[in-house]
Structure 1
Amino acid sequence: MALFVMIIRKMVNNKWLAFSLFLGMLISVALVSTMPIYSEAILSRMLVKDLETMQRNQGVYPGTVYVKATFSEDPPEKKKAANEAIDAYMKGEGARSFSLPVDLTVIQRNTRSVDSFPEVGTEADLKKKRSFRFTSLTGLGEHIRLTDGRMPSPEPVNGVYEVLVTDAGLNNLDTVLDSVFVVKSDKARIPMKFKPVGVFEKKRDDDPYFRDASLTNLANSLVIDSGLMDRDFLGLNNVPVINAEWYVVFDYSGMELRQVDDFIAADKSVKAYVNAKVGAYQSDMKTPALATIEKYLERAKQLRTLMWSLNVPVLIMLAFYMFMVANLIAERQKNEIAVLRSRGAARWQIVAAFSAEGLLLSAAAWGLGPLVGLALTKMLGASNGFLSFVSRAALPVRVTGESYAYGAAAAAVAFVMLLVPVLLATRATIVGHKQQLARRQRTPLWHKLFLDVVLVAVALYGLYAFRSRLDNLRKLGLNASDLNIDPLQFVVPALFTVGSGLLLLRLYPYVLRLIYWLGRKRWRPSAYATLIQVGRSSGQYQFLMIFLILTIATGVFSASAARTINDNTEDRIRYANGADIALSTVWISDAPPPSPGGPMAGGGAEPASGVSKPIHYLEPSYEPIATLPGVEHAAKVFSKQDAYFTAGEERGTATLLGIDTDDFGRTAWFRDGLLSHPLNEYLNLMAADTRAVLISRTLAKQKNVKEGDTIWIGWNDTSSQPFVVYGIVDYFPTFNPNPPIGSVDAGNAETLANAPMLIVGHLSRIQFQLALEPYQVWLKMKPGYSVEALYQAIEDRELSVTKLTNTEIEWNQAKNDPFLMALNGILTLGFLISILVSFTGFLLYWVLSLKGRTLQNGIMRAIGLSVRHMVGMLVLEQLLTSGVAVLIGVVVGNVASGLYVPNFQVAFNPSSLVPPFRVIFDSADYVRLYSTVGFMLLVGLGILGFMVSRTRIHQALKLGED
């Protein structure tokens, strides 16, 4: 207890150091804890959304498990025992093992099909055979409504079984309600009779109770009471039950990633149980959501890898921060440690005392860190971009055992970081300590080992490796999985940042000497003293400068990386779509009906005879589309894939675009800088001649076509017409000049042998001289337009829209991708943490440094320097140390961004990455960064200046005497 009290008192005496160290530990533990919390939360949300999309697109309720068992000719007793066992299992342990709330369990039993004939009727009717099966479904009455008749009796009435049928079933029976039928069965001792007494339909169209939403599977079923089925059909051999189905419906809306393992394991255990009861070859099981769910285990691994990668620079920065604070603690207590060593204390005893203090701080950080991580995760979930937050549905976050395990690892590393400076300090005796104080100018270890050069070399090699990989992906049309981020993508820039910072610091003393030499005859005493102080004690400031360089560079790199990925993702979507909205409508044509199973082609089809005939189209009215609410400009855009062309002796196929140049230029989206001249200049060049076309550079290179050449263009069922090449473009809206994914150019990549080709011509000439065929309408929308009003107007005007692409919706969907959300959230968090930690570290270091120089400042005041001169010295010292570190950090961060941010192209499919990837530096981010850093320096200088102004000469000198 006494030791504990002593440790607490020691921490109170160094409360600011202890608090700063605890802050670093807490942030580190919280940051690491967010990884499992966030990955589970965001993937849980996306899993539910994917399952909802599956339900919407496929019309299948994903939260279901369907099991079917076939019993063939098993004895009735064995069959009944197997059914009862599976019934109990599926209602109990089997359903619970999926770890989801069970909404309902449906048990369906089916007999073999039997032949039946009317009991009374005409001679022809009596001879007409109807084949039906008896079926029972548990709980059916709660999910149907009768359209005719009544509910059947649960018992035979006068030996007649009363049944329900669907409307299709009644038609198949070719009868009316209450007609009695006789079942002809070889195994029936006495003739069985039944009569339909009611016709039913679903009570709700979206009721998951019915596995077949259309009730087609019940079209030849006679539905009887489930209890009656079990009593009269399951245990007897009259009309035997041939199979049974168990259908369990779960509420998947609250499904979380942690339940995925249980779901997959439960699916396997249910299958194994049913197979054991009826035999593997006689059972069938379907779990619609299983394919989607299994993907999430791999996505969770990828997301955690991404989060580790994103957090590497911030964790390195936090490690520097904690090491700096721990070093300050050790430095302040070095004299005490040296005295203890000289009086016989063993090194392990001193380390044990510091370990106890570190354990207290680490344990507190470990206990609170995951809770702080929970709050940080909520902030990540609200991230809509870099330093952008929106109000969206809260993530299903919770603190897990895994988050505490991650936090424990982070706390352990922080604890080790605390002990390293202490271990180094315990090596010195009192004599050695005094000698070290007299010899401040020591060469750092990294300087001797040329660690800076090694780090920069490794980082540049990593850059070369990434660039080579990108070139291969692009040239060979190879595929890359979504956001396939290599962890080294973030480690290598961090190495470059540290190495470059150290390299510049190696050169910094020479810069100081140059500054000193240039003004050595003109410096004022205060400036002279400051230059001497900084120049002779440069090693003393280097750790702080490295820390500031790393934090500022990390902030700059995080800002650039996030902005670059976000803006390039948006550019890619806008370029691929061409405009804010692109829609297609139905065109009336004389095309014959498609053959069964044949595809439609542009509103028509090939004749069934296989003879190709030209299809004539009637162009729908364009005005109702162009005047939709919110539309600023509209343009007609015709696209013909595989149009053939001839240029001299060269032939080939290309995509043909037909446009109205003026409307197209006002409507289409196109990024500046992609062409040697603005896009509108090319369009104006075309406008002068209807024969003018633009061709892609891929076509020009492959077919050796140049400006002024004549090119003949056409397609099937049209006659080729001459056009004149007016310009060659590298890019054009919607056109991807890269080789398609999966194609490999085994020859020279410069030949672009597999690259797509494009021709852009006048729509009016194409329609007049070639053919009038369906085109798209592109819309440029006014800022802040209402999507709801647009869609409502389309419905009100009865526009037959077959396809509508909304760029804004696609961009919003992209922003909700868990990987992009994680990237934005973590880079934003890293940026904010770097600013917070740099401010804390800066202020802590200089306050302690100033306190340690109280005697020196007092002497300066005693020899005649005023407070103004003292503050001037402080400002100059800050500029030569912290200011230079911030400047180096900005420079290194910008250089690292320019070199390494382009590697994020691997996050996409480089083969389909159009327009080209560009590094973006947003001025708003720099304003935030520089204003925050400026505020940090000003506040720090204000506090330090206040401390200098409060220095009392007599107190400082008395302190020196003591």
Structure 2
Amino acid sequence: MALFVMIIRKMVQNKWLMSSMFLGILMTVALVGTMPIYSEAILSRMLVKDFEASQSEKGVYPVTYWSKIEFAKETNEKRTKIITQLDRFMATEAAPGFGIPVKELVHERSTKYFSFTPAGMALETGKSQDTSFRAFNGLEDHIMLKDGRMPAKQPVDGVYEVLVTDKALGNFKAVLNTVFLIKDDKNSKALKFKPVGVFTKKENDDPYFRNSDLSELNSAFVIDDSLFAQEFIAGNRISVTNSSWFIVLDYSKMELRDVDHYLATDTKIRKQVTGTIARSEFVTPALPIITEYFERAKRLNKLMWSLNVPVIIMIGFYMFMVSNLIVSRQKNEIAILRSRGATRWQVMLSFAIEGALLCVIAWVAGPFIGMGLTKVLGASNGFLEFVQRSKMPVHLNNQAYLYGGIAAGASFLMMLIPVFLATRVSIVGHKQELARMNRMPFWHKTFLDLAALAVSIYGLMTFNSRLKDLKSLGLDSDDLRVDPLQFVMPALFVLGAGLLLLRLYPYVLRLVYWIGRKWWPPSVYATLIQVGRSNSQYQYLMVFLIMTIAIGVFSSGAARTINNNTEDRIRYGSGADFVLQTQWQNDKPPLNAPSTESTATPKIVHYLEPSFDPYTKLPGVEQAAKVFVKEKATFESGEKTGTATLIGVDSDDFGRVSWFPNKLLDYPFYEYMNLIAADSRAVLISKTLALQKKLKQGDTIYVGWDNVSPQPFVVFGIIDYFPTFNPNPPIGSVDASKEDAKENSPMLIVGSLSRIQFQLGLEPYQVWLKMKPEYSTSELYEGIEKSKISLIGIVNTRENLSKAKNDPFLMALNGILTLGFMISILISFVGFLLYWILSLKGRALQNGILRAIGLSLRQLIGMLAIEQLLTSGVAILIGVAIGNTASRLFVPNFQIVFNPASLVPPFRVMFDAVDFIRLYSIVVFMLLLGLGILSVMLSRIRVHQTLKLGED
């Protein structure tokens, strides 16, 4: 107990150091704990979005569960028992077992098919038809009557009243209130029924109905559910052949944590149903989406860990620095304890108890802070950009505490490393160390800088080689089998480059001192002497600042690069703001026309071109262009033949409408358009075509397509890229084991639209639209509707960009890089202040003497500013340089998260002045605030007290 009290008192005495250490541990636990929380939250959101997209695309409610059983030779008692047993199971175990709200639990019963005739005819002589009775629970709440009335719940004068759909009434050629006769094989007495009402769905999008068009009821009659149970299940008037249960789940409340419940309940239902009766069937449309999400979850977790590795390393270095400062201030005490008989484990135990207290508190509180950080991540729309989004479902989970515990344990070990090293030194050794403050740091002795640089560069070269093969062979990113350690390489490069430059920095200081040794004022001279002779004591701070700033620059470059490349890829793939495909009048035979000798022979289809003027007058349209695209045009040049995509354009309009990035071709894009404008015979061909078919400028190439005779064109230019054209082989289209694996790249021919239409043929073209700034999409759609333009396809680039912003990987990337940078700056500021405050306190006597011999406060602050410039300032400049270099070298690695073969235009590292303004503003603010605090501390120095302290 006494030892514990002593430890608490010691922690209180070093409260600022302990608070700084606790902050580092807390941020580490919170950052690591954020990953599973954020991963679950973002995947939950995207799971719901994917279900919404599936419902919109297919028109079918996606999260439903349908199970069906069929009866054959079971007795009526057994059928009744099975139905009762499964009804109870579905209501009490199956539906609640999914873990999300149940919107509908529908059971459907069906009798066997039977023959029926109108009551006025004998069963033996009348023309019979086949049908069955169906029953649904709760049907009345989901239908409305188009004609007639609702049926009675009991037989009326021995007649069963039923409902029927409009199509069923037509199929049976019946009218309402007509009595029909049934004779079941097991009953000698004929049964009677009559349709009394025609119904339809109350709401078109009601998920209650498994078949939205009610097609299964077009050959059946619907009877009251309770009457069906009484007469056919219990009474066995007509044999029941099947029963099914349809569970509709509220997917808007579904989260990733519910997926395991869904899968477990699916297994449980299958086991229960098949164990009860062998003849069963199951339909679960949500399973394919859920299966895909397991793969996306793995990729997202890999991405999150990869992005957080540099920040975790930086925080680890911060904790090591603070722990080293704590131990350095107590080295004399440790050495005295060791010299007086204390064992190493006893000394380490006292520090271990301190660390354990801090780590346990951080472990408990960290995940809660992680929840708050997750909300920040969810609002991130770019690097240090935030928008209003709907709240993500954020929950604490076991993995957050598991990962947080691992992070706390690692922090605990990091704290004990300096203690372990300090306990090896005796009192004599400690005094010797104090006399040798200028010794070389251990990372320079062990050449850690060169080793880290070598490993990072080797990893970069290996990755680039594999990435090149992946692009050229059209492989999927999963085929690369990337080691997650590849994403540690940027942190290793930053660390290695920073340490290497710090190895060279003392020589630069000596050079600066030597150059101006005759002219330096006393304050600068004293500062250069101080920094030069005590260089090693600044190493921790400088390495720490280098890593922080470099990681900040790297994060900024990575976020900006991936955001901009994603936008460029979407714009390039679309070609323009809007791409419209319209229906042209033609003489093509209808698809369902009977086959004749004339239609069996392919013929040229003639089209009637609609007016182009309405497109130019649509609301918000700045420019419109005609773009003809023929996917499989044939070409020949000498003995060389093949197929390529043919694009016909009006060069002037196309140049104004299309989106194309700068510096992607050897010459500006408009110059290539001018080539086509100069001569109608001119075509541009892709580099892939030129290489594969050995063509060059000036060659003649004949182009045509099915049933169209080839016509001559002249190659005027060779291009690598063109709007919408991807020169990489389609994913999975190439067998990498073959020698000609790289000879399967797509090919392109671009020519004049007027010549193509005149000499080859007039076929439907696309209309590309460039919109005015701040245009309204809804107004454009209204204009299209008013103009009565018959569209068969539309590409909305703005909508595609919005979808990309909500992609889990982009959201995770922006959020994590923003969070990592904010934590880096916070930790950097705390470490910066902590170091300089302790440094000033340790040099109180020296500063007091300088004041006593005549230096003014302004000169003293000037010396401090120069010292910060030579240490912190230099470290920041080095960090900026290394961060830029690391971005250009390693940011392209992040394209592996996507499919590199589909990334066109090529992945380019991009920077934006706004990002650097934000970064530098924060750094300058940190330095100025720190200098202000230190200046206040200097102003409070009392010379007589300091000199008195020196005498003591």
Which category of TM-score, normalised to the shorter sequence, fits these structures?
over 0.9
Matched, 1:101 2:91: no
Letter in 2 for 1:40: E
Match of 2:918 in 1: 928
Q: Alpha carbons of 1:909 and 1:618: their partners in 2 closer, same or farther (altered >3 Å)?
A: same
TM-score scaled by length of structure 2: 0.97
C-alpha displacement of 1:242 = 0.8
- Is the alpha carbon distance of 1:116 and 1:396 closer, same or farther for their aligned partners in structure 2, counting shifts above 3 Å? same
Q: Where do 1:837-852 residues align within 5 Å? A: 837-852=827-842
Shift of 1:816: 0.4
Alignment of 1:456-475 (within 5 A): 456-475=453-472
Q: Give 1:173's aligned amino acid.
A: F
Q: Is the 8 A contact 1:478 1:741 kept in 2?
A: yes
Letter in 2 for 1:42: I
Q: RMSD in angstroms over aligned alpha carbons?
A: 2.2
TM-superposed deviation, 1:88 = 0.7
Is the aligned partner of 1:426 residue 2:423? yes
Give the CA deviation at 1:262: 0.8
Counterpart of 2:500 in structure 1 is 503
Q: Is residue 305 of structure 2 the alignment partner of residue 298 of structure 1?
A: no
CA offset at residue 752 of structure 1?
Answer: 5.2
Instruction: Quickly say closer, same or farther: Cα 1:748–1:43, change in 2 above 3 A.
Output: closer
- Matched residues in 1 for 2:865 and 2:353: separation? 39
Q: Check the 8 A contact 1:591/1:606 in 2, yes or no.
A: no
User: Match of 1:652, SS?
Assistant: strand
Give the distance between the partners of 2:480 and 2:171, measured in 1 at CA.
55
1:547 aligned to 537, 544, 549, which one? 544
Q: Which residue of 2 aligns with 1:152?
A: 151
Identity in percent: 61
The answer to whether the 8 A contact 1:696-1:757 is kept is yes
CA distance in 2 between partners of 1:433 and 1:655 (Å): 77
CA spacing shift, 1:436–1:747, aligned 2, 3 Å: closer
- Looking at structure 2, the residues matched to 958 and 429 of structure 1 have their Cα atoms a distance apart, in angstroms, of 30
Q: Which residue of 2 aligns with 1:73?
A: 73
Which deviates further from its counterpart, 508-517 or 681-690? 508-517
1:643 aligns with 2:640: no
Instruction: Identify the residue that residue 863 of structure 1 maps to in structure 2.
Output: 853
Looking at structure 1, the residues matched to 631 and 845 of structure 2 have their Cα atoms a distance apart, in angstroms, of 83
Distance across 1 between alignment mates of 2:322 and 2:261: 45
Partner of 1:267: 266
Aligned length: 952
Alignment partner, residue 42 of structure 1: 42
Q: Does 1:516 align with 2:513?
A: yes
Name the counterpart of 1:902. 892
Any conservation in 2 of the 1:35–1:403 contact (CA below 8 Å)? yes
Aligned to 2:581: 584
CA distance in 1, matches of 2:102, 2:901: 46
User: 2:762 and 2:596 mapped to 1: Cα distance?
Assistant: 17
For 2:622, the aligned partner's letter is E
Alignment of 1:750-769 (within 5 A): 753-769=743-759
**Could you tell me how far 1:4 is from its partner in structure 2?**
5.0
Q: Distance in 1 between matches of 2:125 and 2:254?
A: 55
Shift in CA distance, 792/478, structure 1 to aligned 2, threshold 3 Å: same
Confirm or deny that 1:222 pairs with 2:212.
no
What is the TM-score normalised by the length of structure 1? Answer: 0.96
| Amino acid in structure 1 at the alignment position of 2:127 | K
**AA at the equivalent of 1:277:** T
Given candidates 436, 439, 457, the residue that maps to 1:439 is 436
Q: Does 1:31 align with 2:28?
A: no
How many angstroms apart in 1 are the aligned matches of 2:825 and 2:481?
Answer: 29
Q: Which residue of 1 aligns with 2:181?
A: 182
1:489 is paired with a residue whose SS is helix
Pick the aligned partner of 1:877 from 862, 867, 882.
Answer: 867
Partner in structure 2 of residue 453 of structure 1: 450
Q: Which residue of 2 aligns with 1:403?
A: 400
| Aligned residue number for residue 615 of structure 1 | 605
- Write out per-residue CA displacement over residues 236-289 of structure 1, whole angstroms, 9 at most, x where no aligned residue: 45420011111112212100111101100100100110111111xx00111111
Return the alpha-carbon distance in structure 2 between the equivalents of residues 608 and 753 of structure 1: 40
1:38-437 matches, within 5 Å, as: 38-120=38-120, 127-279=126-278, 282-437=279-434
Q: How does 1:484-503 map to 2 (within 5 A)?
A: 487-503=484-500
Matched residues in 2 for 1:191 and 1:745: separation?
69
2:825 maps to 1:835: yes
Aligned equivalents of 1:23, 1:737: Cα separation in 2? 51
Q: 1:125 to 1:200 in 2, by over 3 A?
A: farther
What is the alpha-carbon distance in structure 2 between the residues aligned to residue 175 and residue 441 of structure 1? 105
Q: Determine the C-alpha separation between the residues in 2 that align with 1:606 and 1:795.
A: 38
Matched, 1:667 2:657: yes
| Runs of 4 or more consecutive aligned structure 1 residues displaced over 6 Å after TM superposition | 482-485, 605-608, 747-751
Report what 1:601 is aligned to: none
Task: Give 3-state SS (helix, strand or coil) of 1:609's partner.
Answer: helix
- Listed one character per residue, the Cα deviations across residues 441-461 of structure 1 (whole Å, up to 9, x for unaligned) are 222222222111111111111
Q: Take 2:8 and 2:482, find their aligned partners in 1: how far apart are those partners?
A: 45
Corresponding residue to 2:688 among 687, 698, 701: 698
On the 8 A contact 2:307/2:813 being kept in 1, the answer is yes
Between the aligned partners of 1:203 and 1:743, the Cα distance in structure 2 is 49
Gaps of 5+ in 2: none
**SS where residue 62 of structure 2 aligns?**
coil
Distance 1:783 1:885 in 2: 43
What one-letter code is carried by the residue in structure 1 that aligns with 2:131? F
For residue 188 of structure 1, report the CA deviation from its aligned partner: 1.5
Q: Which amino acid aligns with 2:449?
A: D
CA distance 1:933–1:722, change in 2 (3 Å): same
Shift of 1:814: 0.9
Whole-Å separation in 1 of the counterparts to 2:2 and 2:368: 31
CA displacement at 1:5 relative to structure 2? 4.7
Distance of aligned partners of 1:298 and 1:707 in 2 relative to their CA distance in 1, 3 Å threshold: closer
Contact 2:123 2:181 in 1 (8 A): no
* 1:69–1:243 contact (8 Å) kept in structure 2: yes
Alpha-carbon separation, structure 2, partners of 1:484 and 1:748? 21
1:795 shift after superposition? 1.6
Of stretches 482-491 and 385-394 in structure 1, the one that deviates more from structure 2 is 482-491
Q: Which residue of 1 aligns with 2:711?
A: 721
Distance of aligned partners of 1:260 and 1:745 in 2 relative to their CA distance in 1, 3 Å threshold: closer
Contact kept, 8 Å, 1:66 with 1:248, in 2: the verdict is yes
Q: Tell me, what secondary structure is at the counterpart of 1:840?
A: helix
Q: Which amino acid aligns with 2:810?
A: L
Secondary structure of 2:247's partner? strand
- Indicate how the Cα distance of structure 1 residues 355 and 124 shifts in structure 2: closer, same or farther if over 3 A, else same: closer
Q: Which whole-Å deviations, capped at 9, do the CAs of 1:327-383 have from their partners, x for residues lacking one?
A: 111111222222333333333333222223222222222222112111110110011
Once residues 680 and 307 of structure 1 are traced to their aligned partners in structure 2, the CA distance between those partners, rounded to angstroms, is 41
1: CA distance between counterparts of 2:742 and 2:324? 58
Question: For 1:466, what is the secondary structure of its paired residue?
Answer: helix
- TM superposition shift of 1:575: 0.7
Are the aligned partners of 2:578 and 2:768 in contact in 1 as well (CA < 8 Å)? yes
- Shift of residue 156, structure 1, vs aligned partner: 1.9
The letter of the residue matching 2:20 is S
Any idea what the Cα deviations from partners look like across 1:383-433, whole Å, max 9, x if unmatched?
111111110101111222321222222222222222222222222233322
In 1, Cα distance between the equivalents of 2:54 and 2:30?
35
Distance 2:653 2:712 in 1: 24
Distance in 2 of aligned mates of 1:922 and 1:666: 26
CA contact (8 A) 2:589 2:599 kept: no
CA 715–676 in structure 1, closer or farther in 2 if over 3 Å, else same: same
